Amino acid sequence: MKKKTTIYDIAKKLDITAATVSRALNDNPKISVATRKLVLETAREMNYEQNRLAKALKSGKSYNVGVVVPRINTNFFGSVIRGIEETLYPEGYHIIICQSHDDERIETSNINSLLNLQVDGILMSIPNIQRDNDDLYNSVLKENIPLIFFDRRKDINGVSSVTIDDFKGAYEATQHLIDQGYKRIAHISNDRRLQIFNNRYLGYKQAVIDNGLEFNENLVIEAFSKVEEGRRVAKTFLEMDNPPDGIFSASDFSALGAIKEIKDHGLRVPEDMGVIGFSNEPFTELMELSITSVDQSPIEMGKLAAEVFLEEVNNSKNIRSQKKVVLDPQLIIRQSSLREAIPIKNDQAI
């Protein structure tokens, strides 16, 4: 087995003391910038790995951060994790990823496990099926551990969040359908007990009202973010005596299901019915009929969530902040909502 490089090896090569090497590696201000730079470069050349346990004992940090997502098999959450990693890895942190599978029991187990591992912070998106789980989140705060919500959030005192303006994204999506000449627009919603889905519903509703169209609650049906759920809801819409001619979906997956069901009924998208999704999953661009969707900037969301964590964990005054960072959504216009079926060479965004 190859012998690991130690601070004594670095000191011997540079002809300085091991204490100087140790101070340089820990950014001690008593060591000159030039010496610190030389030590760091030599450490990299010699493949030196700092003892993380010793570093943790000295700093009082584990340098582990928990990230809890409903699932990792979507581009959105995978991209958020990427943004978190790109921001925290250079700061010496390691990421522990957990999936709640939209199950509060699993979410509770995840958070308790992360607390037992003494993570320095938890960044998370809460489950889709949400009940009163405030005690669980407050248990994190009682341990003086930063808790940051991203995407799906709740209003908890002392908890920061990074989201997009879901109301605005939904409003712009619905407005686009109206501008394309659709008059009776339905909405495939999700569990509106979650703020993000309630805000998408409210944005859709306001756009309908602002344009002088009739708002009909029967044209709003909740569904999980699944292709088969989109099919189910679209079938219900199509069987109405007066079916809609446009659909705004709170999810790309249910939007895809709706398109499949519409085509199975012998109707054309977008000529007979326009469809818009939400999240801008990669498949929306790659489909033979590309799907208009609202982009949520997931990588940026992950980076900002990580930056909020770093601000909180490095707060020497131990004052708990409660930031609310809201990103601007972007409507990516593609074929599924353009009634003239104009060929699209590149995604158009507004």
pTM score over 0.75: yes
- Domain check: are 141 and 197 in the same one? no
- Domain check: are 305 and 274 in the same one? no
* Of 180-194, 276-290, 307-321, 336-350, minimum mean pLDDT range: 336-350
- Domain check: are 337 and 202 in the same one? yes
Encoding tokens for residue 63? 């340098």
In a domain, 57, yes or no: no
pLDDT of residue 296 exceeding 70, the answer is yes
Closest CA to 102 of 75, 72, 69: 69
The set of residues, in sequence order, having a beta carbon less than 8 Å from that of 145 and lying 6+ positions away, is 115, 119, 120, 121, 122
pLDDT grade for 343, boundaries at 50, 70 and 90: very low
At residue 130, the pLDDT reads 57
* Of 4-8, 63-67, 251-255, minimum mean pLDDT range: 4-8
pLDDT of residue 171 exceeding 70, the answer is yes
- Domain check: are 342 and 316 in the same one? no
3-class DSSP state of 271:
coil
Average pLDDT over residues 225-241: 96
pLDDT grade for 276, boundaries at 50, 70 and 90: very high
Average pLDDT over residues 21-38: 84
The set of residues, in sequence order, having a beta carbon less than 8 Å from that of 347 and lying 6+ positions away, is 285, 290, 332, 333, 334
Encoding tokens for residue 303? 């980076």
At residue 203, the pLDDT reads 98
pLDDT grade for 218, boundaries at 50, 70 and 90: very high
Encoding tokens for residue 88? 């925290």
- Domain check: are 200 and 182 in the same one? yes
> How many domains does the chain divide into?
3
Could you give phi then psi for residue 98, rounded to 5 degrees?
A: -125, 150
At residue 345, the pLDDT reads 45
- Domain check: are 126 and 196 in the same one? no
Task: Give the model confidence (pLDDT) of 117-142 as tens digits.
Answer: 999 999 999 987 656 678 888 889 88
